[in-house]
Amino acid sequence: MKHKSFFWFVLPSALAMLLFIFFPIVSVLVQSVYVDHEQVIKTVETCDLFGCKESTTVDQNATAALRAEHPLGQFAGFKTYTDRNHLAIDEFGENWTRSNSWRDFGAQMLNLPFYKAISFTLVFTFVVTPLVIVLGFVVAVAVNSAVKAIRGPLIFFSLLPMMITPLVGALILFWMVDARGVVGAALQYLAGDPDLSVKASTPLMWIMLMVYGVWHSTPFAFIVYYAGLQSVNQDTLEAARVDGANRWLQIRHVIIPHLLPLTTFIALMQLMDNFRVFEPIVSFSAEAHATSLSWAIFNDLGGETRQLSSAAATSVLTIIGVAILLSPVLVRTWREFDRK
Amino acid sequence: MSSKAQRQPVAITFLVIGVLAIWMILAAFPFLWTLWGSFKVEGDFFSKANWANALTGKLTVR
């Protein structure tokens, strides 16, 4: 392709990426190093029959004028990043010197909002992603092995968890695990504990959120793998059969290598998706047990006092987290591409 | 028509059926349960006395 043709071909995409990805990220980066202006306080002297008294009050006009003059706020550098709600550098040091053991240190760190959120986010990501890949592959192979007449309904029902809005899907599961719901009652029966409540237990709530994550995302892996299975070279499979390979060996040596690029794709998508886990936490009302980085951003932006700088700092940390998570897969893909 | 060599062993057929049955229950049951619940009053669907009221619909039929 000529350079000029390539330029005009790429220009719309490049402009869209600049407008919708690059500029918002720059805006968030800038916002994260500024904080709101403090209110201007003035001292007022009030005199009455008993004498004069001095009192302090907020100078609304001066505060409004200051905010109008510098709408971005005041420059704070990395102060927001290091405060208690984010990296908590001071608290990290204090906990390190104060704690007697790793366990104690970990427990104290998990009381800090950012570390509480990142711990659940990482556990969720690293538990849900491999489970989704394995389960999606198993379901795809099973559906592909079924007789053709029932494959259509099987695909339809397999895609159901992905079809509905995540918030609604999570809400359905939330009703089911309620102490009066079908799953909640079954768990109470199995555990022999009539007071067992998923909502009251942090470990059970974490497990439930991960079960939801796997349930919701497996159809995505399934449909990608199922599409990949349609392009498996039948001659290679036939040759493997002639060589005496059983079903497992065919899967191990023909199908899995064929689907490897799709596994990389699913892993990338799932790592990104799971790292910004949000909907199940809201639907399950699980904030007391589990928070995530996305939930922290939502929490900062909600309510009457919108903490834009805090939300921006958490967003930047989330972007850095996603970049770190994806880097091994991206480097590996780049090396393979380079080798070819 | 598949040849004898291409036909899969009975054990694999049962495994495939088992996997599909479990997955179908996992994928579709929450929706069927919600659909069932849409025909029941809240007192039955979230019955404190007995969860089986969600099936029998004691208050719903009243």
Say if residue A164's pLDDT is above 60.
yes
DSSP B4-47: TTTSPPHHHHHHHHHHHHHHHHHHHHHHHHHHHHTTS-HHHHT-
State whether A160 and B27 contact (CB < 8 Å): yes
> A42 by DSSP, 3-state: which?
strand
Which ipTM value was assigned to this complex? 0.83
What does the pLDDT read at residue B4? 53
> Are the beta carbons of A279 and A167 closer than 8 angstroms?
yes
How many Å lie between the alpha carbon of A186 and the closest alpha carbon of chain B? Answer: 9
Predicted model pTM: 0.87
Q: CB distance from A241 to chain B under 8 Å?
A: yes
Half-sphere exposure of A283 (CA within 13 A, CB side): 21
State whether B12 and A160 contact (CB < 8 Å): no
- Residue numbers in chain B where pLDDT is lower than 50: 1
Read off the tokens for B60: 């719903």
Q: Residue A56 carries which side chain, given as an amino acid letter?
A: T
DSSP state of A254: I
Share of chain A above pLDDT 90, in %: 71
Domain ranges of chain A: 79-111, 113-339
- Cα(A232)–Cα(A255) distance, integer angstroms: 7
Say if residue A305's pLDDT is above 90.
no
Question: To 5 degrees, how large is the angle CA B43–CA B49–CA B52?
Answer: 80
Q: Residue B45 carries which side chain, given as an amino acid letter?
A: F
**Residue A184 CB burial class (10 angstroms; 0-12, 13-18, ≥19):** buried
What does the pLDDT read at residue B3? 55
Outline where A58-192 has alpha helix (H).
60-69, 79-82, 89-98, 102-109, 113-145, 148-163, 166-177, 182-191
> A71 by DSSP, 3-state: which?
coil
Residues of chain B contacting A164 with CB distance shorter than 8 Å: 31
- Cα(A258)–Cα(A219) distance, integer angstroms: 20
Span A65-112, pLDDT tens digits: 988 898 889 999 999 999 999 999 999 999 999 999 999 999 999 999
Read off the tokens for B54: 């969600």
Mention the CATH class of domain A113-339: mainly alpha
Q: List the single best residue of B31, B32, B38, B40 to mutate versus A (max A Cβ within 10 A).
A: B31
Share of chain A above pLDDT 70, in %: 99
> Residues, chain B, total?
62
